[in-house]
Chain A
Amino acid sequence: MSTRRVVVDPVTRIEGHLRIEAMLDGSGVIGDAISSGTMWRGIELILEGRDPRDAWAFCERICGVCTTVHALASVRAVEDAIGTKVPRNADIIRNIMFLTQYVQDHVIHFYHLHALDWVDVVSALKADPDATSKLAHAVSPRWPKSSPGYFRDLLTTLKNFVESGQLGIFANAYWGHPAYKLPPEANLMAVAHYLEALEWQKEVIKIHTVFGGKNPHPNYLVGGMASAIALQSDQAINIERLNMVRGLINEAITIVEQLYLPDLLAIAGFYPEWTQIGGGLGNYLCYGDLPQDGIDSPEAFLFPRGAILDRNLSEVLEVDPRDPEGIREEITHSWYDYPEGKQALHPWEGTTRPNYTGPEPP
């Protein structure tokens, strides 16, 4: 049977630059695929020789969508190297910062990055607002924005937007493709929640602004936690600031419980076959996080550390990140070069020597 090569470049709605080449057999099944990250900045090389206290800021810029997490990993590496232990309060605030990003990022990925693969915006035009309201009530009974009038207004907005002929970010897409499985009402509901989540994400990250002064890319890590906590000070993180954080966390809980999770489950119900697709090689490694008793006590992490091999979820294997054989970075499939022709090294031994041997751009 003849094969066909399909190239998707750029893969959109991700952070960074990605190219996928898929080889299809005669019946349209992908037999092999190659993915390439087509951007490289060499931040490891830029870090060489710097003051270690500055490293977090460089690493933070690895990604602005998952802001702060690379900075956190970087500062922990430095603290590990110099044997510093941060106070419990610093760990608590770092955990709050990490979780804020974690929750906000999940919602953004679901609605603003991935949803358009499952949600047909143009099909939403055919939705009946009354039926959409009923659906929304069934999916999330306590979510307030679900009246027929609300969906009717959105439908008008959407109709006018589409009829203007200027589709903006929705232009030239795949609307009407049979791979879209949602009924029009579910599509309309998802569009409504796309916009509601867009509104919310700018609120929850104010937790980052309280402790780190800004988001994206808050500044807060050096010295354990730069922000002073003094409940009765008018210049530090005081009771008013903590109340604000508490309010934002409560709002986030509402969004996750009443918007994000119900939508995720409702939409997933229309795409059951996708639970069997993907998953990579079936081997998973989790460093673990959310220390409750310091970073050196992984047994007390809320997100446990461990490895899963061959999709065997019943057994979580122990990982020692300091073991040179425990974790290795491979370069077999990447454009790097290791000394003495080696293919795999523990991160502590690893080097960054770019060696691009891919096709030359025209």
Chain B
Amino acid sequence: MENKPRETTYEVLRRHGIDRRSFLRYCTMLTAAMGLPGSMVTQVVQAMESKPRIPVIWLHGLECTCCTESFIRSSHPIAQDIILNMISLDYDDTLQAAAGHQAEEIRRRLIEEHPGEYLLAVEGNAPTKDGGVYCTVAGQTFLDVLLETAEHAKAIVAWGSCASNGCVQAAHPNPTGATPVHELIHDKPVINVPGCPPIAEVMTGVLTYVLTFDRLPELDRFGRPKMFYGHRVHDKCQRRAFFDAGQFVEQWDDDGARQGWCLYKMGCRGPMTYNACSSMKWNNGVSFPISSGHGCLGCSENGFWDNGPFYQHLAGVPLPGIESTPDTIGKIAAAAAGVGVAAHFGSFIAKRALFGEGRDRQADTTPAKGDEA
């Protein structure tokens, strides 16, 4: 790893034999993939021409590596493109060739030689109990590694529910004191990208947005990019019409299951889960859990593990009766939407409070602002 001036993405692509025309086509596709209007292509081109490849340190704490696995499933852009052409993934203990002190040397050198220039991606979180012994790297606690690497990072991406919310190891009784990144680091911008794991194209979308525009995407009050976490899974669910019509699956093998009716009574968390599953779907648009017949577990929501049992429906709120006409149901649904999710799932929120969350997750329906800054 030498200290040469870093090349721009365009220069890298040119050297790889990609002509100007293909480069422009690539930028157009990238713009579309990020959900930006066609008028933004020029800005994307400019960014790709003038910005060097940013070094990335990708740390692994208490986690299961599902985020890395999801990341390499990305279809647009593909992982190879990101790793070879868009970022310099200098440290990632799941993928890097070097091990042991050679691996740690890379991290230390980046911190010393490029302070403030690298992006820190965190997969997993830090155990804080018992002196942090429950996760160590090179004899150092992960908590220390995280804090010293974060200190000189340009910004932090908290991959997945572990880094964003705590996830499974932070579920009751949280034996290791697992603590998400934003509760440990307060003086750096942190983008939370929750999900267990997050959708692959959400991960690469967040990364390419930051690389292209050199700034954070617009975040909601939980630090999540609005472009991917602005709506509930329920809002765009293909089974939504059956919810509104009061047609529910009651047993895994009943006729409703074969007809693709709503999974609310089977415990689906779609109505309180902010994620892009129903709009973008998974693995290049093949399906998402509800579409495949299993309710949403709410895996991108804070504390979802303690919001079980998963197969018990959310709350005792009166559901649209099956005798009701679609008109009546429509009115009920409209009224519920009018007073917000709190009325719709009142007892769910009360239940969350029991788990010490206290804060409700009322729909933040403010549409994401355009990116024409």
Chain A positions within 8 Å of B, measured between CB atoms, are: 7-17, 19, 38-43, 45-46, 50-51, 53-54, 57-58, 61-65, 67, 112-113, 116, 121, 153, 156-157, 160-161, 164-174, 195, 198-199, 201-202, 205-206, 208-220, 222-228, 230, 233-237, 244, 354, 356, 358-362
* B48 to A: closest C-beta gap in Å: 16
> Which residues in chain B, 67-98, are within 8 Å of chain A measured between CB atoms?
67-70, 72-75, 78-80, 83-84, 87-90, 92-98
**In the complex, A198→B79 CA distance in Å?**
8
Contacts of A358 in B (CB 8 A): 133
- Provided the pairs A160-B15, A361-B139 are in contact, do residues A235 and B260 lie with their beta carbons within 8 angstroms? yes
B6 adjacent to A166 (CB under 8 Å): yes
What is the size category of the interface that chain B forms with chain A?
35 or more
B252 adjacent to A173 (CB under 8 Å): no
B144 adjacent to A13 (CB under 8 Å): no
A227 adjacent to B293 (CB under 8 Å): yes
What's the dominant secondary structure at chain B's contact region? Answer: loop
**In the complex, A121→B70 CA distance in Å?**
25
* B257 to A: closest C-beta gap in Å: 4
Q: Is B167 at the interface (CB under 8 A from chain A)?
A: yes
Contacts of A40 in B (CB 8 A): 134-135, 176
- Provided the pairs A42-B176, A157-B16, A171-B1 are in contact, do residues A17 and B287 lie with their beta carbons within 8 angstroms? no
Report the stretch among B100-108, B318-326, B348-356 that lies at the interface: B100-108
A61 adjacent to B167 (CB under 8 Å): yes
Contacts of B60 in A (CB 8 A): 17
A233 adjacent to B95 (CB under 8 Å): no
Residue in A9, A64, A220 whose beta carbon sits within 8 Å of that of B197 in the complex: A64
Q: Is B12 at the interface (CB under 8 A from chain A)?
A: yes
**In the complex, A225→B98 CA distance in Å?**
42
B64 adjacent to A63 (CB under 8 Å): yes
Residue in A58, A64, A212, A224 whose beta carbon sits within 8 Å of that of B69 in the complex: A64
Residue in A10, A219, A360, A361 whose beta carbon sits within 8 Å of that of B93 in the complex: A10
> Which single residue of chain B is at the shortest CB-CB distance from A198?
B80
Contacts of A201 in B (CB 8 A): 72-73
Residue in B96, B168, B259 whose beta carbon sits within 8 Å of that of A235 in the complex: B259
Contacts of B346 in A (CB 8 A): none
Residue in A57, A64, A157, A244 whose beta carbon sits within 8 Å of that of B65 in the complex: A64
Contacts of A198 in B (CB 8 A): 72, 78-80
**In the complex, A167→B96 CA distance in Å?**
10
7 examples of A-B residue contacts, CB within 8 angstroms: A12-B97, A41-B176, A54-B309, A170-B97, A171-B98, A198-B79, A216-B70
B289 adjacent to A199 (CB under 8 Å): no
**In the complex, A51→B306 CA distance in Å?**
11
A41 adjacent to B308 (CB under 8 Å): no
A53 adjacent to B69 (CB under 8 Å): no
Residue in A13, A202, A206, A234 whose beta carbon sits within 8 Å of that of B94 in the complex: A13
B88 adjacent to A205 (CB under 8 Å): no
Q: Is B7 at the interface (CB under 8 A from chain A)?
A: yes
**In the complex, A64→B124 CA distance in Å?**
12
- Provided the pairs A46-B171, A156-B17, A361-B132 are in contact, do residues A51 and B310 lie with their beta carbons within 8 angstroms? yes
- Provided the pairs A46-B169, A202-B75 are in contact, do residues A39 and B100 lie with their beta carbons within 8 angstroms? no
Q: Is B294 at the interface (CB under 8 A from chain A)?
A: yes
A50 adjacent to B308 (CB under 8 Å): yes
A10 adjacent to B169 (CB under 8 Å): no
A213 adjacent to B287 (CB under 8 Å): yes
Residue in B7, B99, B132, B294 whose beta carbon sits within 8 Å of that of A213 in the complex: B294
Task: Flag B242-262 by CB within 8 Å of A: 1 or 0 each.
Answer: 000000000111000111100
A361 adjacent to B89 (CB under 8 Å): no
Contacts of B62 in A (CB 8 A): 39, 41
A360 adjacent to B131 (CB under 8 Å): yes
* A227 to B: closest C-beta gap in Å: 4
Report the stretch among B31-39, B218-226, B278-286 that lies at the interface: B278-286
Q: Is B369 at the interface (CB under 8 A from chain A)?
A: no
**In the complex, A97→B148 CA distance in Å?**
41
A166 adjacent to B294 (CB under 8 Å): no
Q: Is B191 at the interface (CB under 8 A from chain A)?
A: no
Contacts of A213 in B (CB 8 A): 282, 287-294
Q: Is B190 at the interface (CB under 8 A from chain A)?
A: no
Contacts of A54 in B (CB 8 A): 308-311
Contacts of B25 in A (CB 8 A): none
**In the complex, A244→B295 CA distance in Å?**
23
* A238 to B: closest C-beta gap in Å: 10
**In the complex, A359→B139 CA distance in Å?**
9
> Which single residue of chain B is at the shortest CB-CB distance from A70?
B64
